[in-house]
Amino acid sequence: MAYRNLAKRKLRFGLTAAGIAVGVALVFSLLSITATAEQAAIQQFTRLVGYDIAVFNGSLRQGRLQTQRQQISWGGAIPQSPIAEYVVEAISSLQGVYAVSPVIAVRGIANGTVVTVQGLVPQTYVEVVGGINIVEGEMFSCGNCSEVVVGRSLALELNATVGGRLNLSIGSNTSEVIIRGVFETGIRIQEMAVYAPLGLIQRLTGMNGYVTQILVKCRNPRVAEAVANAIKSVFPSLSTISMAATLQRVEEAINAMTVFFLSIGAVALTAGGFGVMNTMFMAVVERTREVGILKSIGATDRFVFTLFMTESILIGLTGSLTGLAVGVGFSRLIPAVFTGGVRFSGVRNPQTSISPRTTELVITPEVVLISVAIGIAIATIAGLLPAYRAARMKPVEAVRYV
């Protein structure tokens, strides 16, 4: 009966349902955007860094620290104030520390191309960042020899192959090195890099006994803050950046975005709710006589209430499902936006040119359920008052109404 009443006034039903649909589509799309953004951010982060804490020389000014953060993300490309090598030992003896790896990150030139040069100790570096993805050749194993591994993007650009030679310059010093392997991270900017033995880079930069960063992996990411504080208390001049804290900031930003987007959706849904209420009040008034007859022949208040509530819920259901469909369609456009923002190198074989790796659209069952549930809930709430009014109508007055 409820269904037929709606079917009888298709246009009005459709428009009212559309009001709900807009809200649901909006809520769904916005929630999907934030979920996708969150995943994209976390993915990029975990791909970029494997360590928990990066230690720098704290004589850097606050302004520089800002750029520092940038540098970690991009692998650290600018020479930084040196840290004495004995600090590495001191940090590794702190409680909660799993592994420590000293790094010198500087800008250099390889066969005429500007690259990031990382001097590192393979054994500890692998422990701290969780491994290097060598796709061709192998990792150098010496501490001081003239051997390097290069990123895939760089190898492509330089047309370099395993076993080939490279002129690596840092400042005014140049050394000829042998390419032992090619690594891949999936992120182009990280792959425009040369990893070399720490000793070699110390020699080329003239920083014997010094490093620019110390990367720390903790036994448990949750103790990262405590370890960072311990480092600062032992070496007050050093500054630390903990990844957990950074990730937390990212999540806070995304949560703020979610709340903001949800409030936009709430406004749309409220409008849709008033649409339902308006339609249902109209229906109740129009069908006053019908209500009167129903009650006069013995229908209970509850029956009448349920009748009108069912109509509201049907509007909500139709609107929500339509909104969901529209939302899903619309959300397909989202990954393109995120992919456009960051260039990934997803090169699988050297013959093809660089193709962007797309961010997957995130549609979680929660988001689907939440948006549909909100749509139905709004319509249900909006239907309460009209249905109550219909249920409470006095039959005498209702049958008098024509």
Site for another protein in 175-234 (CB under 8 A): none
Q: Name the residue among 142, 154, 185, 183 with its Cα closest to residue 50.
A: 185
Provide the minimum distance between the beta carbon of 308 and another protein in the complex, in angstroms, as a whole number.
13
Burial of 401 (0-12, 13-18, 19+ CB in 10 A): middle
Cβ proximity to another protein, 144 vs 296, nearer residue: 296
Q: Applying CB under 8 A, does 279 fall inside the site for another protein?
A: no
| Start-end of H helices in 61-210 | 62-73, 86-92, 122-129, 152-158, 188-191, 198-205
Provide the minimum distance between the beta carbon of 21 and another protein in the complex, in angstroms, as a whole number.
24
Site for another protein in 295-324 (CB under 8 A): 295-301, 303
Provide the minimum distance between the beta carbon of 396 and another protein in the complex, in angstroms, as a whole number.
4
Cβ proximity to another protein, 184 vs 311, nearer residue: 311
Binder to another protein among 8, 62, 63, 236 (CB under 8 A)? Answer: 8
Provide the minimum distance between the beta carbon of 312 and another protein in the complex, in angstroms, as a whole number.
17
Stretch that binds another protein, among 160-168, 232-240, 286-294, 333-341 (CB under 8 A): 286-294
Provide the minimum distance between the beta carbon of 401 and another protein in the complex, in angstroms, as a whole number.
10
Cβ proximity to another protein, 152 vs 295, nearer residue: 295
Stretch that binds another protein, among 12-20, 38-46, 64-72, 290-298 (CB under 8 A): 290-298
User: In sequence order, which residues have a C-beta less than 8 Å from that of residue 14 and are 6 or more positions away?
Assistant: none
Per-residue DSSP letters for 252-299?
HHHHHHHHHHHHHHHHHHHHHHHHHHHHHHHHHHHTHHHHHHHHHTT-
**Beta-bridge partners for 172:** none
Cβ proximity to another protein, 14 vs 395, nearer residue: 395
What is the rounded distance in angstroms from the CA atom of residue 200 to the CA atom of residue 184? 22
What is the rounded distance in angstroms from the CA atom of residue 59 to the CA atom of residue 202? 21
Provide the minimum distance between the beta carbon of 395 and another protein in the complex, in angstroms, as a whole number.
4
Name the phi and psi angles at 216, rounded to 5.
-125, 135
Binder to another protein among 48, 94, 266, 293 (CB under 8 A)? Answer: 293
Measure CA 259 to chain center: 16
Q: Does residue 382 sit in helix, strand or coil?
A: helix
CB 178 within 8 A of CB 167: no
- N residues, the chain: 402
Provide the minimum distance between the beta carbon of 254 and another protein in the complex, in angstroms, as a whole number.
49
Provide the minimum distance between the beta carbon of 303 and another protein in the complex, in angstroms, as a whole number.
7
Tokens of 312: 């509201």
Number of residues that bind another protein (CB under 8 A): 20
Provide the minimum distance between the beta carbon of 290 and another protein in the complex, in angstroms, as a whole number.
6
Stretch that binds another protein, among 97-105, 292-300, 347-355, 372-380 (CB under 8 A): 292-300
Binder to another protein among 290, 315, 359, 379 (CB under 8 A)? Answer: 290
Binding mask 367-396 for another protein (x = CB under 8 A): ----------------------------xx
User: How many alpha carbons lie under 13 Å from residue 391 in its C-beta half-sphere?
Assistant: 16
Cβ proximity to another protein, 174 vs 296, nearer residue: 296
Provide the minimum distance between the beta carbon of 274 and another protein in the complex, in angstroms, as a whole number.
26
Cβ proximity to another protein, 145 vs 299, nearer residue: 299
Name the phi and psi angles at 53, rounded to 5.
-135, 135
Binder to another protein among 40, 294, 379, 391 (CB under 8 A)? Answer: 294
- Biggest CA-to-CA distance, the chain: 103
- Ramachandran region, residue 298 (left: φ > 0; alpha: ψ -120 to 50; beta: rest): left
Stretch that binds another protein, among 151-159, 289-297, 342-350, 377-385 (CB under 8 A): 289-297
Burial state string for 240-267 with b = 16 or more CB within 10 A and e = fewer than 16 = bbbbbebbeebeeebeeebeebbeebbe
- Residue ranges binding another protein (CB under 8 A): 1, 4-5, 8, 289-290, 293-301, 303, 395-396, 399, 402
